[in-house]
Chain A
Amino acid sequence: MIDETFDAIVVGAGMSGNACALTLAQRGLKVLQLERGEYAGSKNVQGAILYADMLEKLVPDFREDAPLERHVLEQRFWMMDDTSHMGMHYRSDDFNEARPNRYTIIRAQFDKWLSRKAQEAGVTLLCETTATELIQDAYGRVIGVRTDRTGGIVHADVVVLAEGVNGLLGSRAGLRAVPKAEQVALAVKEMHFLPSETIDARFNLKENEGVVIEAAGTLSKGMTGMAFLYTNKESISVGLGCLVSDFRDGQETPYGLLEAFKRHPSIAPLLAGSEVKEYAAHLIPEGGYRAVPQLYGDGWLVVGDAAQFNNAIHREGSNLAMTTGRLAAEAIFQIKSRREPCTKANLALYKTMVEESFVMKDLKKYKDMPALLHTQSRNFFLTYPELMSKAAQNFLRVDGTPKIDKEKATWRSFVQRRSWPGLIGDAFRLARAWR
């Protein structure tokens, strides 16, 4: 056992853990951070898009030395069937601003950088150290953690669980349930290397400008899922994810879907000639508002993916992680500055702060979306993309058919596939879930 007691132990060195540890140390608290990987970021996987605003609150001048890939100039949303894509593109020179809002990043490099900032602020980081168990006193109050190193018990006034989506510490201690299969997506991702000039030419970019493609449709074979393609400096991240429950119940494999996506006629030319250097897989919390567990208790808090903080609709995860990590630190600091203990009653402050922030407001807005997309997945990911694609093709193909007949045919195809009550119901449900 280690004699020394820390103000806080942060379990995990991902976005939420680093944000929390950094903020605690900036406020002068004595922080121990534990990471099971070889270094901060070695186990972390994300697309990845970074939102500047949330990071600015932690490291205001991050643009000076953070390992950023490209700032996002153009966003494409694609609805795809097996041979086509139809999309909305938004490209604006306004995104070429002095302080861009969104960047593509590579997490292994970015996390190392953010972790260095935390260590410079005074955080003691131990890598290759897995927290295996929460230590609780006779009253159930969390007073420290046990690690997998010999003599590995360390005590702290509060333990912050930033252990990621499938962290075992909290669930082992019975503080929160193991996420259900329909509350997590399994995403796979590849890194394709290409010279930066080739990427610039293929996506019509100048130096450091980037494109983000997010796609849904028949690529997920009727399962609830999405695919993405992000441009980095000298590589392209391409990946895809679907709900674990869908993979469990169906015959599809994640790598099979990714292979098919890469071969899609709209995607293949973008990746042609590239060299694959990395394959990674990760779970993503998709349960939304209704899946957020108990956030605090006597001597503990949970932040980031571990608390299911991910906005699946807007593909925002790391900024919710950074924000909840920072808010947890602020709450602990406020309690500590009042010289009060980190009891359940006091730590309720963290939940209040999260509820007042955009994090909970956004999740609440889309609280019915996960359930809707899940139960209606065949319609939203298979039927509609096919119908929309056929409609577009019918509209564009000139073949001597009177336009009025074409329009009627398109309408008929919608009604035949989904029926009038089905169409009206889907529109109503979607509007309600979006509201």
Chain B
Amino acid sequence: MHIVVCLKQVPDSAQIRVHPVTNTIMRQGVPTVINPYDLFALEEALRLRDAHGGQVTVLTMGPPMASDSLRKALAYGADRAVLLTDRFFAGSDTLATSFALSAAIAKVSQTFGAPDIVFTGKQTIDGDTAQVGPGIAKRLDLLQLTYVARIAELDLAGRSITVERRAEGGVQVLRTRLPCLITMLEGTNEMRRGSMADALRAARAEVVTWSAADAGIEDLTKCGLRGSPTVVKRVFAPAARAETAQMVPPAERDAAASAEVLIDALFTRAPALEADLARLAAGY
């Protein structure tokens, strides 16, 4: 069995800084991490491999330093890493990204064998669109299972997979044919700690690095900024809220009087509140 897991290297949102003057995100010196949602996809892929045999290939598109994330994935236990990197990809939106990644998966398929499952995370923490996974599935004509909470059964001989998909109002149990694309939900598993052998192998492994041409992409107008109809119009920091806390001293030994004092203070701060509440109460 061959599983491809798509990863994205993102700035660690816990440590991100906004420049106090220009309000732009200061990426320099901000540590990067594997998109946390993608880790659930990777762990699920590694579990399927451990149970059924086969190989896990991790794939990312990004600048050369994105190989750090791939190396980390190898240390978790992935078997092979492919980095798709080219200046033509700079400025890609989800349309251009899914185009490039699907081309790379086609190339992975030719080079290392056709994947039975392609995994992605639910979405990324920096883009939050959840569009790239479905975009890849559409372009590669793969059946897609989104927001998957659990893999119930994988029948390699029968070429089918059964999953639980979290949907509004309940859980859907879905079965489909292989190959398919799965976007994995968060909290579904816990990333393992790679063994010492995996860590050593990862530190020394060669990351397969492909340019657009290497991945067989001929139409560069579909890549990067040129292939991206989405435009970021403006980046701004939200204005700080002017709300402040106020300590209201309680009335002595009298809960009812204290409540009065508190309500008075609330209505003084928000004069419209009293009328609004009165209107609401009149409706009952």
Residues of A within 8 A of B (CB): 2, 4, 32, 38-39, 42, 106, 108-109, 124-126, 128-129, 147-154, 193-195, 275, 277
Q: How far is the CB of A279 from chain B (nearest CB, A)?
A: 13
Residues of B within 8 A of A (CB): 17, 20-21, 29, 31, 75, 193-197, 199-200, 203-204
A2 close to B20 (CB less than 8 A):
no
B20 close to A195 (CB less than 8 A):
yes
Bound complex: CA A108 to CA B30 (Å): 10
Contact of B20 among A129, A150, A153, A275 (CB under 8 A): A275
Q: How far is the CB of B143 from chain A (nearest CB, A)?
A: 36
Q: How far is the CB of A124 from chain B (nearest CB, A)?
A: 5
Contact of B196 among A2, A38, A109, A195 (CB under 8 A): A2
A-B complex: 10 closest residue pairs judged by Cβ atoms? A152-B196, A149-B196, A150-B195, A126-B199, A151-B196, A151-B195, A124-B203, A275-B20, A109-B29, A195-B21
Q: How far is the CB of B181 from chain A (nearest CB, A)?
A: 30
Q: Kindly list 18 other residue pairs between chains A and B, CB separation below 8 angstroms, not including A124-B204, A152-B196.
A: A2-B196, A4-B200, A42-B31, A106-B29, A108-B29, A126-B75, A126-B196, A128-B75, A129-B196, A129-B199, A148-B193, A149-B195, A150-B193, A150-B196, A154-B196, A193-B17, A194-B20, A277-B17
A126 close to B200 (CB less than 8 A):
yes
B195 close to A152 (CB less than 8 A):
yes
Bound complex: CA A153 to CA B195 (Å): 11
Bound complex: CA A193 to CA B21 (Å): 10
Q: How far is the CB of A22 from chain B (nearest CB, A)?
A: 16
Q: How far is the CB of A4 from chain B (nearest CB, A)?
A: 8
B199 close to A149 (CB less than 8 A):
yes
- Give A119's nearest chain B residue, CB to CB: B203
Q: How far is the CB of A30 from chain B (nearest CB, A)?
A: 12
Bound complex: CA A152 to CA B193 (Å): 12
Among A42, A108, A149, find the residue whose CB has the most chain B CB atoms closer than 10 A. Answer: A149
A147-B204 in contact given A106-B29, A275-B20 (Cβ < 8 Å): no
Q: How far is the CB of B197 from chain A (nearest CB, A)?
A: 6
Contact partners of A154 in chain B: CB under 8 A: 196
- Can you list 9 A-B contacts (CB < 8 A)? A2-B196, A2-B197, A4-B200, A42-B31, A124-B204, A150-B193, A150-B196, A193-B20, A277-B17
Bound complex: CA A109 to CA B31 (Å): 10
Contact partners of A150 in chain B: CB under 8 A: 193, 195-196
Instruction: Report whether over half of chain A's contact residues are helix, strand or loop; otherwise say mixed.
Output: loop
B197 close to A126 (CB less than 8 A):
no
Bound complex: CA A148 to CA B21 (Å): 44
Contact partners of A126 in chain B: CB under 8 A: 75, 196, 199-200, 203
- Give B21's nearest chain A residue, CB to CB: A195
- Give A41's nearest chain B residue, CB to CB: B31
- Give A147's nearest chain B residue, CB to CB: B196
Contact partners of A32 in chain B: CB under 8 A: 200
- Give A197's nearest chain B residue, CB to CB: B21
Bound complex: CA A40 to CA B67 (Å): 16
Bound complex: CA A32 to CA B197 (Å): 13
Bound complex: CA A239 to CA B200 (Å): 38
Q: How far is the CB of B212 from chain A (nearest CB, A)?
A: 27
- Give A198's nearest chain B residue, CB to CB: B21
Bound complex: CA A39 to CA B33 (Å): 11
Bound complex: CA A193 to CA B26 (Å): 12
- Give A33's nearest chain B residue, CB to CB: B203
Contact partners of B29 in chain A: CB under 8 A: 106, 108-109
Contact partners of B203 in chain A: CB under 8 A: 124-126
Bound complex: CA A277 to CA B196 (Å): 35
A2-B31 in contact given A149-B195, A195-B20 (Cβ < 8 Å): no
Q: How far is the CB of A165 from chain B (nearest CB, A)?
A: 24
Bound complex: CA A154 to CA B195 (Å): 12
Bound complex: CA A277 to CA B194 (Å): 32
Contact of B194 among A2, A42, A124, A149 (CB under 8 A): A149
Bound complex: CA A153 to CA B200 (Å): 12
Contact partners of B20 in chain A: CB under 8 A: 193-195, 275
B17 close to A151 (CB less than 8 A):
no
A39 close to B31 (CB less than 8 A):
yes
Bound complex: CA A392 to CA B208 (Å): 69
Contact partners of A275 in chain B: CB under 8 A: 20
Bound complex: CA A152 to CA B198 (Å): 10
Among B17, B75, B193, B203, find the residue whose CB has the most chain A CB atoms closer than 10 A. Answer: B203
Contact partners of A129 in chain B: CB under 8 A: 196, 199
Bound complex: CA A150 to CA B194 (Å): 8
Q: How far is the CB of B144 from chain A (nearest CB, A)?
A: 33
Contact partners of B204 in chain A: CB under 8 A: 124
Contact partners of A148 in chain B: CB under 8 A: 193
Bound complex: CA A124 to CA B29 (Å): 23
B17 close to A2 (CB less than 8 A):
no
Bound complex: CA A39 to CA B29 (Å): 12
Contact partners of B193 in chain A: CB under 8 A: 148-150
